């Protein structure tokens, strides 16, 4: 077999594999889509029930409940009918689809708004609702490719379970429920963002349907070609109006993700700076410029180490103006061995000793005030020194998430010793969130 014959066979094989002609029934698909457009009778009740179920799922942040509601809902039929009407120049079908889409929209808003008006549950962190308030170009892609899968499934002779997956992926119901939540709570940011997401789904599912109807060569209705052309122009303008803001939103999401990743890598690579340890950090991307807050344990940063920290941050694209350093959450307790104490006594006169005593009293007062009895700092330091004599310095710090014990020893403590200290301190303080850092 020469190259020309192989090429010809490969083309035939490829065409046979991707051909749709033997698997598609456009007449049956046209009839099926038209029959499922009307929203009346049981369909209204099913939609109402599905919206309430989805609202409950959003209210309790339950993804399985939301998915179940999306499988029940008959929301996609008028949208696909609208795309079919555009594709075959059938203005009566297009207007019928819009009418029933409007009915669907009103029923959904009434059901979700009523639910959120009467529900006694207060959402402290409504993550599932918030996920529907900031759509981007990625939601455009989901809607478009979901619409392609939907119209292909409806046009296929042997139906499968594709429509169920499309209903979950495109997620038409949660945005409408979120709009209802926004109306019930006068939260126009939630309502506006979710309404925009719904229009993204509507416009691009219909666009995918339109393109696939043209590609599959559905029979075109005998309509006014000029009127159809005007309709397509108006729809094209609508696509641009819906699409442009989504790019700005996607750009913002990408920037937030890049900043969070840069902050994570920066902290991971610079946990220790001299005698200072970054034991916690947080980012704020809700306002611009984005900020990174570092919480430190150990010695206060010297001017040199602070400059070093800023230089490392610059390598990750984080300017020094974006960094917030919190040292007030740290507690530093240092102990000298007996030889160093004797050397200091010999080298220090009476006035220096008095100043040292005053400083110690002020420091102890600050520690007592800050700790308010939460951590027995002095006792912990004494016990650590008694059990591990090679340790020369001890720093104890805590925040809302964890307790950090920073120890200095020569030689540096082995991993086993660090683990024993961590276990002992966990038992001693009755806390599981203890970490030990040896330097």
Q: What are the residue ranges spanned by the domains of the chain?
A: 3-223, 261-326, 332-438
More confident residue, 348 or 392: 392
> How many CA atoms are closer than 13 Å to the CA of 179, on its beta-carbon side?
20
Chain-wide mean pLDDT for the chain?
78
Query: How many whole angstroms separate alpha carbon 153 and alpha carbon 141?
Result: 18
Q: Is the dihedral of CA 191, 192, 195, 200 positive or negative?
A: negative
Q: According to the CATH classification, is domain 332-438 in 3.30.300? A: yes
Over 70: is that where the pLDDT of 224 sits?
no
Nearest Cα to 80, choosing from 275, 233, 217, 211?
211
> What tens digit of pLDDT does each residue of 283-327 get?
887 778 888 888 887 777 778 888 888 888 888 888 888 888 887
Q: What is the pLDDT of residue 106?
A: 92
Over 80: is that where the pLDDT of 361 sits?
no
More confident residue, 389 or 140: 140
Residue 233's pLDDT band, with cuts at 50, 70 and 90, is confident
> What tens digit of pLDDT does each residue of 102-144 get?
998 999 999 999 998 888 767 666 666 676 677 777 888 888 8
Q: What is the pTM of this model?
A: 0.64
More confident residue, 435 or 128: 435
* φ, ψ for residue 408, nearest 5 deg: -115, 125
């Amino acid at each position: 077999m020469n190259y020309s014959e192989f090429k010809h066979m490969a083309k035939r094989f490829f065409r046979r594999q991707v051909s749709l002609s033997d698997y598609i029934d456009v007449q049956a698909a046209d009839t099926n889509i038209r029959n499922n457009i009307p929203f009346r009778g049981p369909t209204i009740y099913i939609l109402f029930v599905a919206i309430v179920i989805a609202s409950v799922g959003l209210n309790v942040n339950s993804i399985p409940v939301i998915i179940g509601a999306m499988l029940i809902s008959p929301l996609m039929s008028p949208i696909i009918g609208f795309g079919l009407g555009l594709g075959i120049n059938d203005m009566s079908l297009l207007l019928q689809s819009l009418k029933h889409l409007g009915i669907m929209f009103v029923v959904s808003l009434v059901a979700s708004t009523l639910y959120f008006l009467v529900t006694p549950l207060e959402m402290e962190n409504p993550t599932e609702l918030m996920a529907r308030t900031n759509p981007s170009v990625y939601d455009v892609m989901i809607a478009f490719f979901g619409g392609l899968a939907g119209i292909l499934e409806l046009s296929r002779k042997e139906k499968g379970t594709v429509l169920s997956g499309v209903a979950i992926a495109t997620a038409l119901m949660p945005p409408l429920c979120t709009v209802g939540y926004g109306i019930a709570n006068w939260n126009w940011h939630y309502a506006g963002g979710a309404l925009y997401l719904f229009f993204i789904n509507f416009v691009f599912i219909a666009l995918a349907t339109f393109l696939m109807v043209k590609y599959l060569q559905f029979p075109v209705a005998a309509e006014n070609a000029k009127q159809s052309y005007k309709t397509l122009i108006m729809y094209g303008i609508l696509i641009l109006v819906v699409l442009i803001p989504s790019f700005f939103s996607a750009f913002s999401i990408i920037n937030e993700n890049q900043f969070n990743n840069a902050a994570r890598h920066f902290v991971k690579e610079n946990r220790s700076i001299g005698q200072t340890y970054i034991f916690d950090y947080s980012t704020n991307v809700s306002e611009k410029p984005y900020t990174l807050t570092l919480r430190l344990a150990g010695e206060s940063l010297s001017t040199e180490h602070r400059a070093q920290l800023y230089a490392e941050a610059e390598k990750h694209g984080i300017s020094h103006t974006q960094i917030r350093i919190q040292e007030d959450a740290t507690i530093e307790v240092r102990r000298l061995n007996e030889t160093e104490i004797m050397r200091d006594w010999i080298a220090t006169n009476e006035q220096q000793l008095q100043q040292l005593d005053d400083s110690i009293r002020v420091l102890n007062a600050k520690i007592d005030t800050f700790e308010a009895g939460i951590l027995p700092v002095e006792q912990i330091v004494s016990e650590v020194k008694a059990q591990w004599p090679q340790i020369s310095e001890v720093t104890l710090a805590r925040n809302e998430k964890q307790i950090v014990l920073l120890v200095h020893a020569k030689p540096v403590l082995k991993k086993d010793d660090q683990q024993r200290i961590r276990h002992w301190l966990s038992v001693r303080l009755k806390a599981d969130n203890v970490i030990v850092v040896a330097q």
